[in-house]
Structure 1
Amino acid sequence: MNRLLLVDDDVELAEMLRDYLAQEGFAVTLAHDGEAGAQEALSGQYALIVLDVMMPRASGVEVLGRVRSQISTPIIMLTAKGDDVDRIIGLEMGADDYVPKPCTPRELVARIRAVLRRVNSTPTESADNLLQIGELTLWPGKRTAQWRNAPLELTSTEFNLLLQLARNAGRVVSKRELSEQALGRSLTRFDRSIDVHLSSIRHKLGRRPDGQSWIETIRGIGYQFIRE
C-alpha cells in the first residue's frame, strides 16, 4: 500500500480526501498546517506528498522549498483555480505536478497515480545501461543523470522530460507527446507545466557555445534537444 501525506488546513476536505484515497488503496496521513506538514514530510516515509499552497504557520511554497532541498519525494501542489503564479512558482521550485482547487477526488487520484507510475516505472534499460548524447549521460534504470561529467540534479518530472527529448535528440517532440509520455497524462488547454519544467532544465544545462539553449522551442510544434 502506498503511503501518502496530505497537508491541507481544510480539515473537512482533507478527511474526505483521505477516506476516498483509502478506498483506492492508499494509506494517508494528514497534517493541517505547514510546519507540521514539513516535519512529517521530512521523515521520508511517504511515496508522495500532496501539499496545499495556502496554509497557516508556513505556506505550501515554503514547505515545498524546505522539503525539496532535502529529499526527492514526489510532490503534488493543490493550487487555487486560476492562480497561475502559485502554480508556476511551485513547478519552478521542484513540484512534480499540480491540481487546481476545487478538485474532484477522482482527478486527484488520477494525478497521484500518474506521478507514481513515472517514479516507480521499470524501464527496459537495466541499471547499467546508459543513454549518451554529447555531454549528457542518462541512466534510465537508475534514474540518474550527468552533464559534462558532473551529477545533474533533476526532479522526477524533469528526468522524464529530458529522457524523452534525449531519446529523440535532433527530432522535434510535440508538447502532447511529452505530456503523455513524460507526465503520464493528456495535455490540457492552457497547461504550462511542461514549459516551466523545461525552463528549469534549460537553466541547469546552461547555454551552448553559440549562446542558444540546448532545448529549442519550435513554435506551434514542440521541443527539440540539440545534438552537438
Structure 2
Amino acid sequence: MALINEKYECSKEFEFLTKDPSEKHDAYMEGKPCALEIMKGECPSDRATFLEENYSQMIKLLTEKPNDNITCTAPYFQLEAIECNAHKHALQLEMQDQTGVKETHDGAVKVLKMCKDAQACIKNACKFTSIERDEIKNSCDVLELTTSDFTVCMNKINKEKPDLSKYECLNDHDFYSKDSTVICERWKNKRECMRQVTEDICGKDVMKNDEKTLKSFLNNLKCDE
C-alpha cells in the first residue's frame, strides 16, 4: 500500500496509512476521488466498479474496529495485516538495496525509520504473533545499534586507526584487537579511558549519549556470560 501510494500524487494530501481508525475514515471519505483513482489504477475494472458502488460501506468495514477480534478475520483486520505486510515488504526491499557497496549511514538511518514504522504497525495488529513482533523488534534493535553515534565513532576509529599511544590507560591494551574478550574488557573496565578517546576523536562522549546502544553492543558480545 505504501509503495502504491507513492505512485499517485493525490495520495500525499491524505493520511490513508494512518493507524488511527477515525483519522483513516476521515482520510478515505475526504479523499474519495483520490482513493477511487488508486483503486481504478490497481484493481481489475469489475472490482473497481464494485468498490466505487459500495464505497461508504467498504470504508466503514475497513475503519471501524470490531469488538470481537478472536479470529482476526474481519475486513478491518485483513486491511490492517495488508498494510503492515506492505511495511515489512518495503523494509526488506530497502535492506536488500542497502547491502554491500551501496550501504551508507544515511541509508541505514532510512532503513531504521522504515523498521520502526513496521514495528509500530504490527505492535497491536490482530493477525501478528508475539514471535513476529519480537523478530521485528530485534531487527530494529540491530539497526539502531548500527546507526548510533557509538557505532559511527567506532567505525571511524577502526578505519582511520589513529595513534592511541598518548592514552596511558590503553598502554596495556590492544585497542584494535577483534577478540571479543578484549573488547568486553575494554568497555567494561576502561570506560573512563574510552570516554576520553571518543571525545577526542569523535568530538563527543558517545558512551554518555548511547548508554542503551553500548549495553546492546555488550549483550551481543555476551560480555556478561
Instruction: Give the TM-score normalised by the residue count of structure 1.
Output: 0.26
Q: Between Structure 1 and Structure 2, whose CA radius of gyration is higher?
A: 2
Higher strand share: 1
Q: TM-score, normalized by length of structure 2?
A: 0.26
